[in-house]
Amino acid sequence: MKHNFLVLIAIFCFAASCSNDDDKVAYAEEWSYDGETGPDYWAEIEQESECGGAFQSPVDILQTQTDSTLQPLDIHYDAGIKISNVVNNGHTVQFNFESGNYITLNGEKYELKQFHFHELSEHTVGGVHFPMEIHLVHVSDAGKYAVLGVLTEESATEIEQFDFLDNYLPLAVEESKTVNNTYDINKVLPAGRQYFTYTGSLTTPPCTEAVQWFIFKTPVEAPVSLIEDLRDAMPAHNYRPTQPLNGRIVKESV
Give Cα separations from 91 to 47, 94, 216 (angstroms): 19, 9, 23
* Dist CA 84 CA 117 (whole Å): 17
Note whether 58 and 200 are within 8 A (CB). Answer: yes
CA 194 to chain centre: 18
Q: How many CA atoms lie within 13 A of 23 on its CB side?
A: 12
Instruction: Give the span between the Cα atoms of 22 and 25, in whole angstroms.
Output: 10
Rounded Cα distance between 222 and 155, Å, is 6
Q: Are 238 and 33 in contact (CB under 8 A)?
A: yes
* Residue 170, preceding peptide bond in cis (omega within 30° of 0): yes
C-alpha to C-alpha distance for 205 and 47, rounded to whole angstroms: 10
Active-site option among 3, 91, 116, 135: 91
Contact between 254 and 68 (Cβ < 8 Å): yes
Q: Is 135 a catalytic residue?
A: no
CA dist 123 and 241 (Å) reads: 8
Which residues does the annotation mark as catalytic?
A: 91
